Amino acid sequence: MPRVEAKPERGNNGASNNGAEARLTEVARAHAKFTEVYQERCTGAVQRYVDAVKAANEPLLEGPSRPVTPFDFWRDASDYWLDFTQRSILYWDTLRQRGNNWIEHEKAGKPPLLDFDWEMIADARTFERPANYALVRILPPDGIKTDPERRPFVVIDPRAGHGPGIGGFKQDSQVGVALKAGHPVYCVIFFPEPEPGQTLADVSRAEAEFLRIVGERHPTTRKPVVIGNCQGGWASMLIGALEPDLVGPIVINGAPMSYWAGNDGENPMRYAGGMLGGTWPALLASDLGAGTFDGAYLVDNFESLNPANTYFDKYYNLFSKIDTEPERFLEFERWWGGFFLMDRQEIKWIVENLFVGNNLADGDAEWSEGRAFDLRAIKSPIILFASLGDNITPPQQAFNWVADLYPTTEALKANGQVIVGLMHKSVGHLGIFVSGAVAKREHTQIVDLIEYIEHLPPGLYGMQVEEQKTNGSVCYDVMLTERRVEDLQILQKYGRKDEGPFKVVENTSEALASTYETFVHPFVAPMVTPAAAKAARALNPQRAQRWAVSDLNPFLWPLKGMAGMVRANRAPRDNEGPMAAMEHWMAAVTSASWDLYRDLRDASVENTFFRIYGSASIGMAAEDKETDAEEPVDVRSTPLVKEALTHIEDGDRTKGIVRAALLLMKAGTGRRRLSAMKRARELVGKEIGLIDMPAEAAREIIREQSYIVDFEPVKALLALPKLLQTPEDRRGLLDLLDRLEGRIEANDKQVTLLGEIRRLLSDNGTRGKAKAEPITVLLPQDQAQAHPGVTAKPASHRRRRDHRRTRANP
């Protein structure tokens, strides 16, 4: 029998081998890149440390301005050590007061630390589905009057380890700004311990009920403005998705919405989920807490971001300014040391859907079985406030969900959504909420803009606060500039390709959490009693450092009397002299050393994260690339746009005036100044009719006419006479234009368009074709785009789900 030699099969096996080789090559390149970036991080960290030490050395190397004799040195040392001893006693006494304040706050039940009086309106602990939340009304302080006929503001603070009150922590705050503007203000507060079995869905329902109550208390005003801080921001968005008809404009400040986003070397907290293994540590912490999760763990995460400040800077700042700093220090520590608890189901939902899963913008964050929050159901305008100096909620996490939800600007407009983004250049995370300067500048302008934002056409706008100084006084104005969703990519270094490894983290987390729930939870949970959990929480370092340095410690009892003697005989000295210079040098070097540790630690964590999860993500990205294809999306065929385009020649006087205004805006620069909007409203606002009608009806008119102007600008212009059929209506619009011209800045295109509108509507004008100039002005620059609404939907940067959940909005 002849021997038959088997020939190697080509086809699929060959292609698979080639694909595997290509992936191995890509993995090798990625690891080389990881090594290069890690070395750059370490080199940069060392260089920053060297620069900081050199800067600290300069005063010492310069030497004193005059020769120092031994007697001068002895006198300087004597004065310094007296001052040092006095500062030390006052420093420890301040920490003792912090501990006493903490104990008193705990005994009082940790009430909200609002700098305003308040009264309880509704307690969700009594609801059918109880939650540890309540609605309170802020009582205006003396000298401030609020008008119940003005739309109310509702402030929702974060429940991220601390208690409520950050939005009204001082007079110059979000609460204070709204009160000064004459608005009734309500706050959503919460209590230290959750109700048994409480879920995030219960919390969202309770907060929605609070808005219903506020609406009933102010039936003649427009819907309440909702202000959400940090995690209160995504809580506000959940309410808007769950009950869109109850919510007015939503303002979210420093709110993380897109948890995988960020830039390498800048946002280390986003790696925490992967390095900890996902959800299971939170589940274990909850089981060790007898079914409750201790918020002190979240505070630990925040403090670990900046160990120099946590362990040295804030204490040295107190020590070096002991005569002026204690009041501010104690005020902040009262809030920072109030640790609140969460139910196991709450923290599980948060970690699974947000921190690790990043499901909110993807529409997979379920509030009940098979029903997920859909952020596209939100009808109200949204203002996003973030800061480049925020390392807890970086701008990418605050803004990228917009691009996740709406792949193109046209898709955003087609949904009728108005989103305004405000970026601060430097303030830190907490400064967004508590800084008095931010309250006076940014938050005051946000409150001012609220009255006008509902009359903006759909789109994405950048908000800039401009400072103007006149006659020694400072005033502010707001500039709104139209942006494109695609422009959000400028916040990214790698076009979001670095988010790929987080998909692997999600899969890993699901597997580890399932293993934990099956094999560990049944044994750990029954072993921990509520009393044992309470004792363990008391020994948590976050709490122990407070009660241990208080009057509970008998070794500190003499401290109060010693501090009193020091204050009576205080002999502060200036910061001059060799001993003071040595102290400043030691402080600078110590702080720089902590920063070096932080930078090297973060570089190592980042490198380890991408080496562990990056390789697997490369294979997953290749699979997604094979399965995901670009799908053409015709925005013109969406229901809202399609319906609007059937009414190009239909409408009344109000719609005609709105269309004319939008046509002029389209021919403009895409910039709107708040002061100009105010002048326009003063001159012609009442005559248009939008101000007196319900906000929903006004938004519907603006949205419809904006679609017509965006997608059929020439037809929209030529159809103006059909909307203004009577001579009175046409004469009325021409009079409005005459009043505005010269008082509102216009460019050449707008001036040309004004002339064409006048020609179309003049009594002796023709109804024929418009001149070429305005048509050229209104047409898109790229004439090849015959259908500007047709866009290509980019392949999703997220993995496609194996199953599709029902997106429902009850």
Concatenated DSSP letters for 162-191?
B-S-GGGSSSSSHHHHHHHTT--EEEEEE-
Longest dimension (CA), the chain: 114
Asked if the structure places residue 472 within a domain, the reply is yes
Indicate the residue among 442, 476, 493 that finishes a domain: 493
Task: Say yes or no: 622 and 653 in one domain.
Answer: no
Domain that holds residue 714: 636-793
Determine the pLDDT at residue 67.
67
Please state the pTM of the whole predicted model.
Answer: 0.90
Give yes or no: residues 623 and 645 share one domain.
Answer: no
- What 559-568 contacts at long range (C-beta under 8 Å, 24+ apart), as own/partner pairs, is 559/89, 559/92, 559/93, 559/96, 560/93, 560/96, 562/89, 562/93, 563/89, 563/90, 563/93, 566/86, 566/89, 566/90, 567/90
Query: Distance (Å, rounded) from C-alpha 659 to C-alpha 716?
Result: 8
Whether residue 443 is contained in a domain is answered as yes
pLDDT of residue 112: 94
Give yes or no: residues 471 and 617 share one domain: no
Do 688 and 783 belong together in one domain?
Answer: yes
Question: Which domain-ending residue is among 478, 493, 508?
Answer: 493
How much helix, strand and coil, in percent to the nearest 5, is found in the chain?
A: 55, 10, 30
Q: Is 769 strand, coil or helix?
A: coil
Q: What is the rounded CA–CA span in Å between residue 253 and residue 259?
A: 15
Q: Do residues 378 and 236 make contact, with C-beta atoms less than 8 angstroms apart?
A: no
Residue 432 within any structural domain of the chain = yes
Residue in 119, 212, 112 with CA at minimum distance from that of residue 167? 112
Is 660 in the same domain as 780?
yes
| Same domain for 254 and 122 | yes
DSSP state of 63: -
Same domain, 49 and 131: no
Residue after which a domain boundary falls, among 445, 470, 493: 493
CA gap 688, 515 in Å, rounded: 63
Q: How many CB atoms lie within 10 A of CB 799?
A: 19
Whether 473 contacts 449, CB under 8 Å = no
Residues 176 and 133 in one domain: yes
| Domain match, 611 and 686 both | no
> The domain spanning residue 249 has which CATH number?
3.40.50.1820
Place of tokens 């989920």: 273
The answer as to whether 481 is a domain residue is yes
Q: Are residues 582 and 680 in the same domain?
A: no
Residue 273 resides in a domain: no
Backbone dihedral region for residue 695 (phi beyond 0: left; psi -120 to 50: alpha; all else: beta)? alpha
| The pLDDT of residue 782 | 45
Structure tokens at 540: 């948590």
- Cα gap 65→338, rounded to integer Å: 48
Confirm whether 276 is domain-assigned.
no
Same domain for 37 and 183, yes or no, is no
- Whether 541 maps to a domain, the answer reads no
Alpha carbon distance 413, 405 (integer Å) = 12
Q: Are residues 244 and 377 in the same domain?
A: yes
Domains contained in the chain, number = 3
Positive or negative torsion for Cα 181, 687, 218, 194: negative
From the list 393, 313, 392, 305, the residue with the least C-alpha distance to 605 is: 305
Cα–Cα–Cα angle for 795, 796, 800, rounded to 5 degrees: 115
pLDDT given for residue 802 in this prediction = 42
Amino acid in position 335: W
Mean pLDDT by 10 residues, the chain (810 residues): 44 60 82 90 96 92 71 84 95 97 96 95 97 97 93 95 92 95 97 94 96 96 96 94 95 93 84 92 97 96 94 97 95 94 95 91 80 90 95 91 91 94 94 92 95 93 90 88 88 77 93 96 96 96 97 95 94 82 95 97 94 81 49 78 92 91 88 88 81 88 93 92 89 86 78 88 55 57 42 42 40
Is residue 151 domain-resident?
Answer: yes
Q: How far is CA 227 from the centre of its chain?
A: 11
